[in-house]
Structure 1
Amino acid sequence: MPLMIFLLMFIIGSATEKLCPLRASIDILEGEYFFLCFPESMQERFQKAEYTINWYKENAGKQKLIKETHRIVSQMNFLEFWPAELSDSGNYSVTRSDGKQNFTIQQWTLNVLERNKSSCFNENHLTTEIKNAGSGHSLKCNDLSVNENDSITWYKDCKNYQNKTERELDFKTLTIQHSGIYTCKILITHEGKIFHSTSTIHLVVEEDAPEAVTLEIVGLDEEVETQIGKEEILNCTGFLGYFVPEDASLYWSINHTFPEKCSGIPENEPSICEEEFKKLHIGNKFYVTRLLRIKKVTEEDMHRNFTCMLQDDEGTRIKVVKLKKGNTQDLPVHMFTTGMVLPVIFLCVAVIVVVVCVTFRVDLVLFYRIICRRDDTAGDGKEYDAFVSYLKDCVSPSEEEREFALNILPMILEENFGYKLCIFERDVSPGGAVVDDIHSFIDKSRRLIIILSQNYISDRAIYELESGLHKALVERKTKIILIEYMPISDYNFLPESLSLLPSQRVVKWKKDKSLPVNSRFWKNLRYLMPAKPTKSNTKGRYNNLDLGSKGVQPWTGGCDFNAVL
């Protein structure tokens, strides 16, 4: 009887050894049955009553004891998931305790992958096998069965494959047509419910056999220049060949001791920690890489051997990395940051200054004139600051334009800002030659103000306009200011030479909105007028026109051109 028990335990132990691959990182699919386990020796099985086994999962950097539920069951040296969920991803460990001390038996990183809703497999949950055409081959189902009679179904490219239900899919002679993605699905019955587990293999059949490769670490032993107190990240990459061996592992050791795992929380990271390894698929070749993070290099680190180890059933390859002090000091982080931030700030300030200057150009110029008491009129021999030209015939539909020219304009510019205007009706003595007088007075003026309206062109206004245009465009003695008194949609009635004037020399009158002395209209008009020191007397808003001031008489009607002369 003891012999039978021994044989039974040996068989179970052998099966357990086969079912428990020593992989540090395991990928599984959500919604499937899975288990973690560790192989026990025969001696450990007979001594099982003398110690207890506890399973732990890392939570916020701390190990938390796993409590059994209807879904997660701990049985002997197995931790079963009925089924696995996305929240089960994490770091697991199993310990053995004899009541005095705990001993960590094994550690895993479990990655639960999200199921592909549009396919029967997940591209991140498959292995690749490359074989030569003409040879025989067998695809093995990843055996997670509980009972021998569990149902097994094979699929090729997500379609039932010839009603195959064996645990191994045998090909006597491989052909190119056998290439494809094969999925083995196992149905498992547990407590009256049906669960399933799948494994997927990408079979690539080539005409010629791929070149024979062996696992190797990329690169040779090296020395890395660094500085005390600097963060350093060491990288190790291993070449796996044309498929990913399940028994291959890549890890770091420091003077024959293993570093802690990085937690992903910067403030809780140990001074030296090892990140999870990552798989890379470049072309048809597979690589695996793992980083070793040194938070701050110490003097002691300069004398350590940082060894990267790539291990499989054929042996171990190593690469040794040493640190040495560099000759040059890297630019401090704060200086580099300052050097990057300051130009950006200066650029932003320059853009803001340009925008402000463009937007408030008129206000800034007027403020500058007041502060500096600039005078553009001194010593130029001119008598008037501006000659005012406007519609004088009876074709005007209202008297508003005439009132603006004879009363509002001179009252604001002359009484408030000290300008001297030349208005024909007011300042020219009758009896002279009209054309000669116009030329003479325009020549004595620094600006020609033209009050434009649709009916502007008349017998005398045309002389004023043409004379002013000649002096502005040909002689370059007088600058023209256009006041658009009424909205004008078509300027075809004006001389073509007027289009040569800059557009910024047009000021638009907007009736009540333009009446206040500090409105945008008067600021724009003063900006175009010559600079001269004045004592501003702004009254806020133009009301109660004193039409009799400065000898200006209210217009009482009448259209006799000769009467004015």
Structure 2
Amino acid sequence: MTMMLVFFMFVTESATEKLCPLRASIDVLEGEYFFLCYPESRQEHFQEEAYTINWYKENAGKQQLIKETRGIVPQKNSLEFWPAELSDSGNYSVIHSNGKQNFTIQKWTLNVLERNKSSCFNKNHLTTEIKNAGTGHSLKCSDLSINENYSITWYKDCKNYENETGRELDFKTLTMQHSGIYTCKILISHEGKIYQSTNTIKLVVEEDAPEAVTLEIVGHNEEIETEIGKEEILNCTGFLGYYMQEDASLYWLINQTFPEKCSGIPENEPSICEEELKKLQLGNKFYVTRLLRIKKVTEEDMHHNFTCMLQADERTQIKIVKLKKGNTRDLPVHIFTTGMVLAVLLPCVAVAVVLVCVMFRVEVVLFYRNICRRDDTVGDGKEYDAFVSYLKDCISPTEEEREFALKILPMILEENFGYKLCIFERDVSPGGAVVDDIHSLIDRSRRLIVILSQNYVSNRAIYELESGLHKALVERKTKIILIEYMPISDYNFLPESLSLLPSKRVVKWKKDKSLPLNSRFWKNLRYLMPAKPTKINTKGHYSNLDLGSEGAQPQSEGCGFNAIV
């Protein structure tokens, strides 16, 4: 037993940088071998002094030290489960102590999923790989390093697949017949018992390979309406094709002159500066993007040519952006003139009004929309006011989130405020092509509402968010609204390209405090939704609505940001 664990620790430590899961939330199937670990590099600065490593599990809000049992074995840099059981779900942490101080090295939320008794895999515990017919590909079994007493068996749609026993399943030329759900099962011998660890991959082979493309700048030459003294951020995005070209360069010129680089320190920024180049991937397409920041637009800027240049493979594409004076849309001219007169005659009153408008900007805008009966939805060709994306492809620890997405949100926004929402499980008949349906529905929606929780990770949810990001960043057709349904301390599970949005808007749900129709939550959400005239009854309350005795009945199986508070 001791020799085997020493060997196992040696194999594990030799690849911890690659193998150790750094995600905040991890899913594993019940009855399978699993281990938590952290990269050895995280403890390098502890090597010069005597220290101890202890593993803890949160129990009733308190950290409880994990002691070795027959099923759970704590090691120096790993915590082994022989095997993982449903009761092992919870929050784990590993803590370093030198006798004087304690340091938390890493934390995890472990979700042990129930095994599907009628299938060789759990549909909530798989990854999806989309490939093109005619190309070669390899499916890789789990990177989990194990001792020498193991065997591997591959299955396709739960049937033994051609007696394959290798760690990789190679396809020299993919065809449509190769599409399916592949499961590799690793059998491990440990203390006279056999344990297993499975890895399931859904392989989707598309019939048509991507068309041959050349690099291009997204969008055409354009004129942007602005105002003197206003901050403007010019975004230039270049499409590189279906692989990242490392030699691609994207930069701005101002009348054939290179702008200064942004320093990252607001008070030291030049009046016009260029940010660092960012590379991003949306689906199977690769882009580069760079922002040009104009701190305050001047009269001189109105006469400049702001040129974006994309270069790769000895080819060059350009896009020219010009600024022009535009009219203020939110406030009519006579209201602005009256305000200026009042500011001159009554400066103290003007200052007070400005402070009130800043503090109650949401109420002011909503009041203005209601008085003017403003409607931003006329003639834009959109069918829905918002597409709702929420956690649905994995087991959720609570039904409250699904009730919020499927019942509370549509009941309030549709029945009380006149909006039309698109909810996939409610509005789309089953049997269609899910990816195509989602892409089309987001394209026909004015907003993408993303209901975030710590468990917002699934193939379809992330695809919906990435499609919305493509619409917001590249096509500029859809605006994204984030609803923080549960407090989130770490946004690292979201795509990095989300940081490229000009404004990161988050509305926080505060349970009972947010239930009344006239609460801050619904006001903030309406503020971010498109202006639309409607008769509003703000005396209602969610608890007074007829929801039925059993709560929400969804139709399908389910399982920093600058916040507006």
Q: TM-score range by the shorter chain?
A: 0.3 to 0.5
TM-score by length of 1: 0.42
